[in-house]
Chain A
Amino acid sequence: DTGVSQDPRHKITKRGQNVTFRCDPISEHNRLYWYRQTLGQGPEFLTYFQNEAQLEKSRLLSDRFSAERPKGSFSTLEIQRTEQGDSAMYLCASSFSGRTEAFFGQGTRLTVV
């Protein structure tokens, strides 16, 4: 399977714990995006990378959220001190730079209890 891969698919964590998600984009793609989606809503943009550089961060991305793409390949999204409001589907997508068509992974569903 050469699509976008996300791990884990599901995560249940207690409030206050830290969680980390991983995204492996399509190998030829140099852009990688993170989105968050809650039930009944479209995805909300969080941040994106071109190669290893993080070029844009949404105002939605509080200090508790950090994303990395150390070698311009896979990316991680960490949420520190999770809150119940962080419960959502976290989606990763990738594309070629200059191309708008992006391909999404299956998402990581986070539940904070």
Chain B
Amino acid sequence: QKEVEQDPGPLSVPEGAIVSLNCTYSNSAFQYFMWYRQYSRKGPELLMYTYSSGNKEDGRFTAQVDKSSKYISLFIRDSQPSDSATYLCALEKDSNYQLIWGAGTKLIIKP
């Protein structure tokens, strides 16, 4: 079993919809939770970074962490075609920065 599970999709939704992307993990030692966006043939771009359980909001993006359920989510409001990309969750156990990544969910926003 992988340490981090993420549905690869693709997830296709109409423009303007609210998107929910999720990861589950098995090891309670993970302390830091990140979401990256990756466009085709580009490097990952950091979107959100959270440490504790709860919600963190940045513009149209909200990251949610539930440590008790070992479940993290990224919500995108008012989705745009430019949001079409692969979204990867990345988790870290300690400050040595060995990130453990999900496989990524491919998101398609239809105009």
Contact = CB atoms under 8 A, between A and B. Distances in A.
A106 B42 contact: yes
A106 B43 contact: yes
A43 B88 CA distance: 9
Contacts of B44: 43, 91, 104
B24 to A, nearest CB: 14
Contacts of A33: 97
Contacts of A106: 42-43
A108 to B, nearest CB: 10
Interface in B5-51: 6, 8, 32, 34, 36, 41-46, 49
Contact of B46 (A6, A55, A103, A105): A103
A40 B103 contact: yes
Contacts of A105: 43
A100 interface: yes
A100 B32 contact: yes
B87 to A, nearest CB: 11
Contacts of A1: none
Contact of B104 (A40, A56, A95): A40
B102 A104 contact: no
B90 interface: yes
A102 B104 contact: no
3 A-B pairs with least C-beta separation: A42-B101, A104-B43, A100-B32
Nearest to B44: A104
B95 to A, nearest CB: 6
A13 B34 CA distance: 34
A100 B104 contact: no
